[in-house]
């Protein structure tokens, strides 16, 4: 996507009918320091109800640790962060059964015990991956209530749904169990978090009614991970969005030196993270943006960004578009997933392969970002099925040398697969 298209797409999305409303907000910039510590972060209204939620939520999966290699939470630092968050009006806490090896929910229960239950929102999740029988569902739910020291959960999610876990959750009737808990007053709002393609999301949205959904959304994934399509599906279905990975696991605070230079030049006082938060917060159907804050400095910087939250101006969108372009210059394929090249007469799924490859390039994680999915492709859809006919090249608006890129990607896949097999066999000499 060129810069003009990037801007156009972001503006078009801003025009989609929101199901959330900004409730409070004072002018601020990413670099301003709130002198008045009683200032509160901006809140958004849940649909047309009187319920308001802080635009910034506290993700409890990256809490400070006593030892970086272990799960134990540094509770004294984390408690101070929770207290400071509450003081700033950040009263949405998002945890999950497996976070910090199960210790996150226990900590959240302890940390919030001193506050009236009605003064904060608890969000937690049930991971179908951990369920074997229907009895496990109730066991896990009751365990969560005990750990969180509460008799109800405000926002309850089915965790990390994808094309494998959604059928499993349906077979185990997890949704039906959670609906019963909702009717019994143990759950206020029922949603899901999601990690897959928009087609799978559309199916989940079609098959059950949901109060909210949590998706991965940030300015790099907007096209790369097809977050734009996910956001559109949810907005059209009237489902408010909770954002996870607004910083792409912290990657958007480091990016590349060229990207950082672009941001600093545009606003020397704004933190790099504030650009990413303001990007997602400018989308009207975003209800809460989760930030997994590890250090008190992260929290303070975020409070500055979200106190009197300021949506991006057109000039600032342009700055982000420049940074995205610079980012794509660093090894990722410039594919924008427009699909103009499809169908390939040989059956190669071109945009999907480039999307996966780019996910690996931006995360640096070859196995999770690329191999995990690519290795399961039907051989006819793999890059190696390309017969170099050139039909796609003529149609690609980004002028990508598609057969060449496919060849490189598949060669890397084969080399890594060969090396891994060699290492597994315990050979002394394996390819570099
Ligand atoms: S060049 Fe390869 S990928 Fe492109 S259309 Fe032909 S066979 Fe498909
Ligand atoms: S490779 Fe295909 S999907 Fe990607 S930009 Fe080119 S035409 Fe669009």
Question: Which of 269, 288, 323 represents a domain boundary (last residue)?
Answer: 323
> pLDDT value at position 34?
45
Residue 331 CB–ligand 1 contact under 6 Å:
no
pLDDT per residue over 260-304, tens digit each? 899 999 999 999 999 999 999 999 999 999 999 999 999 999 999
Ligand minimally distant from the alpha carbon of residue 404: 1
Q: Which of 328, 333, 336 to mutate to test the pocket of ligand 2 (most atoms within 8 A of CB)?
A: 336
pLDDT per residue over 206-265, tens digit each? 999 999 999 999 998 888 778 999 999 999 999 999 999 999 877 788 677 788 899 999
> pLDDT value at position 359?
78
pLDDT confidence of 28, banded at 50, 70, 90?
very low
pLDDT at 316 over 80: yes
Both 24 and 132 in a single domain? Answer: yes
User: Residue 411: which of 389, 429, 393, 386 has the closest Cα?
Assistant: 386
Distance 188 CA to ligand 2 centre (A): 43
Mean pLDDT of 185-206: 95
Mean pLDDT of 96-113: 96
62 within domain boundaries: yes
> pLDDT value at position 421?
84
413 within domain boundaries: yes
pLDDT per residue over 147-176, tens digit each? 999 999 999 999 999 888 999 999 999 999
Both 57 and 169 in a single domain? Answer: yes
Both 254 and 378 in a single domain? Answer: no
* Cβ(71)–Cβ(104) below 8 Å: no
233 within domain boundaries: yes
335 within domain boundaries: no
> pLDDT value at position 420?
86
DSSP H or E run through 53 = strand 52-54
Residue 224 CB–ligand 1 contact under 6 Å:
no
> pLDDT value at position 210?
98
Both 311 and 391 in a single domain? Answer: no
pLDDT at 412 over 70: yes
Q: Which of 7-16, 85-94, 120-129, 342-351 has the lowest mean pLDDT?
A: 7-16
313 within domain boundaries: yes
pLDDT at 408 over 70: yes
Among the atoms of ligand 1, which is closest to the Cα of residue 388? 1
pLDDT confidence of 339, banded at 50, 70, 90?
confident
pLDDT per residue over 55-94, tens digit each? 999 999 999 999 877 889 999 999 999 999 999 999 999 9
Both 250 and 382 in a single domain? Answer: no
Both 268 and 412 in a single domain? Answer: no
Both 292 and 372 in a single domain? Answer: no
Q: The tokens of 1 are what? A: 């996507």
Both 225 and 354 in a single domain? Answer: no
Q: How many CB atoms lie within 10 A of CB 316?
A: 20
107 strand-pairing partners = none
Both 106 and 217 in a single domain? Answer: yes
Q: What share of the chain is helix, strand, coil (3-state, %, to 5)?
A: 50, 15, 40
User: Residue 93: which of 136, 132, 59, 64 has the closest Cα?
Assistant: 59
Nearest protein Cα to ligand 1, atom 3 = 386
Distance CA 426, CA 314 (A): 56
Residue 402 CB–ligand 1 contact under 6 Å:
yes
Nearest-10 Cα torsion for 278, 282, 288, 289? -30
Q: Which letter does DSSP use for residue 368 in this model?
A: I
Residue 353 CB–ligand 1 contact under 6 Å:
no
pLDDT at 95 over 60: yes
Residue 354 CB–ligand 2 contact under 6 Å:
yes
Average pLDDT over all residues of the chain: 89
pLDDT at 5 over 90: no
Q: Which of 335, 390, 397 to mutate to test the pocket of ligand 2 (most atoms within 8 A of CB)?
A: 335
Query: Collapsing DSSP states into helix, strand and coil, what is residue 48?
Result: coil
Mean pLDDT of 195-214: 95
Distance 267 CA to ligand 1 centre (A): 43
Both 220 and 364 in a single domain? Answer: no
Both 216 and 359 in a single domain? Answer: no
Mean pLDDT of 24-28: 34
Q: Which of 62-76, 326-340, 385-399, 402-416 has the lowest mean pLDDT?
A: 326-340
pLDDT confidence of 33, banded at 50, 70, 90?
very low
User: Residue 220: which of 409, 342, 20, 355 has the closest Cα?
Assistant: 355
Mean pLDDT of 313-339: 84
pLDDT at 20 over 60: no
Distance 368 CA to ligand 2 centre (A): 23
Among the atoms of ligand 1, which is closest to the Cα of residue 393? 4
pLDDT confidence of 329, banded at 50, 70, 90?
confident
pLDDT at 347 over 50: yes
Residue 381 CB–ligand 1 contact under 6 Å:
no
- Domain with 401, as residue range(s), is 350-424
- The count of domains in the chain is 2
> pLDDT value at position 280?
98
336 within domain boundaries: no
Mean pLDDT of 113-123: 98
Q: Which of 226, 350, 357, 406 to mutate to test the pocket of ligand 2 (most atoms within 8 A of CB)?
A: 350
Tell me the CATH number at 212: 3.20.20.100
429 within domain boundaries: no
User: Residue 138: which of 171, 189, 194, 186 has the closest Cα?
Assistant: 186
Q: Which of 390, 396, 405 to mutate to test the pocket of ligand 1 (most atoms within 8 A of CB)?
A: 390
Both 213 and 164 in a single domain? Answer: yes
Q: The tokens of 39 are what? A: 């200032």
Residue 387 CB–ligand 1 contact under 6 Å:
yes
pLDDT per residue over 364-382, tens digit each? 788 888 998 999 999 989 9
> pLDDT value at position 139?
97
Q: Which of 107-111, 142-146, 217-221 has the lowest mean pLDDT?
A: 217-221
Distance CA 105, CA 123 (A): 10
Residue 389 CB–ligand 1 contact under 6 Å:
yes
> pLDDT value at position 30?
40
What one-character-per-residue DSSP string does 173-240 give?
Answer: THHHHHHHHHHTTSEEEEEEEE-S-HHHHHHHHHHS--SEEEEE--TTHHHHT-HHHHHHHHHHTT--
* Cβ(288)–Cβ(47) below 8 Å: no
> pLDDT value at position 431?
74
> pLDDT value at position 195?
86
C-alpha atoms less than 13 angstroms from C-alpha of 149 in its C-beta half-sphere: 13
Residue 337 CB–ligand 2 contact under 6 Å:
yes
> pLDDT value at position 388?
97
β-pairing verdict for 92-94 and 241-244? unpaired
């Amino acid at each position: 996507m060129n810069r003009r298209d990037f801007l156009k797409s972001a503006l078009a999305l801003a025009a989609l009918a929101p199901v959330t409303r900004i409730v409070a907000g004072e002018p601020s910039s990413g670099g301003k320091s709130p002198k008045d510590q009683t200032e509160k972060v901006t809140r958004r209204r849940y649909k047309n109800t009187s319920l308001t939620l802080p635009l910034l939520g506290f993700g409890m999966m990256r809490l400070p640790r006593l030892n970086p290699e272990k799960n134990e939470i540094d509770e004294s630092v984390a408690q101070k962060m929770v207290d400071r968050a509450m003081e700033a009006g950040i009263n949405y806490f998002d945890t999950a059964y497996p976070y910090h090896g199960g210790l996150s929910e226990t900590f959240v229960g302890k940390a919030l015990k001193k506050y009236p239950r009605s003064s904060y929102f608890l969000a937690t999740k049930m991971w179908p991956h951990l369920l074997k029988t229907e009895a496990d569902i109730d066991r896990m739910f009751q365990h969560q209530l005990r750990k969180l020291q509460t008799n109800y959960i405000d926002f309850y999610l089915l965790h990390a749904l994808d094309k494998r876990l959604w059928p499993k959750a349906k077979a185990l009737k997890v949704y039906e169990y959670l609906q019963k808990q909702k009717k019994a007053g143990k759950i206020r709002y029922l949603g899901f978090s999601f990690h897959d393609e928009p087609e799978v999301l559309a199916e989940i949205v079609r098959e059950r009614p949901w109060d909210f959904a949590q998706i991965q959304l940030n300015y790099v994934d907007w096209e790369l991970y097809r977050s734009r399509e996910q956001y559109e599906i949810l907005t059209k279905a009237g489902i408010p969005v909770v954002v996870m990975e607004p910083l792409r696991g912290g990657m958007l605070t480091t990016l590349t030196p060229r990207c950082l230079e672009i941001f600093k030049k545009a606003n020397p006082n704004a933190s790099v993270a504030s650009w990413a938060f303001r990007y997602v917060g400018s989308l009207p159907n975003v209800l809460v943006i989760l930030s997994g804050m590890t250090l008190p400095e992260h929290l303070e910087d975020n409070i500055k960004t979200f106190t009197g939250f300021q949506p991006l101006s057109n000039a600032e969108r342009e700055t982000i578009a420049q940074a995205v372009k610079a980012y794509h210059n660093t090894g990722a394929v410039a594919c924008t997933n427009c699909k103009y090249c499809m169908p390939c007469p040989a059956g190669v799924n071109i945009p999907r392969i480039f999307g996966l490859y780019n996910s690996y390039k931006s995360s640096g994680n070859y196995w999770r970002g690329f191999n995990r999915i690519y290795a399961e492709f039907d051989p006819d859809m793999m890059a190696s099925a390309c017969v170099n006919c050139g039909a796609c090249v003529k149609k690609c608006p980004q002028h990508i040398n598609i057969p060449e890129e496919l060849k490189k990607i598949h060669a890397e896949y084969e080399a890594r697969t060969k090396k891994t097999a060699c290492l597994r066999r315990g050979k002394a000499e394996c390819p570099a």
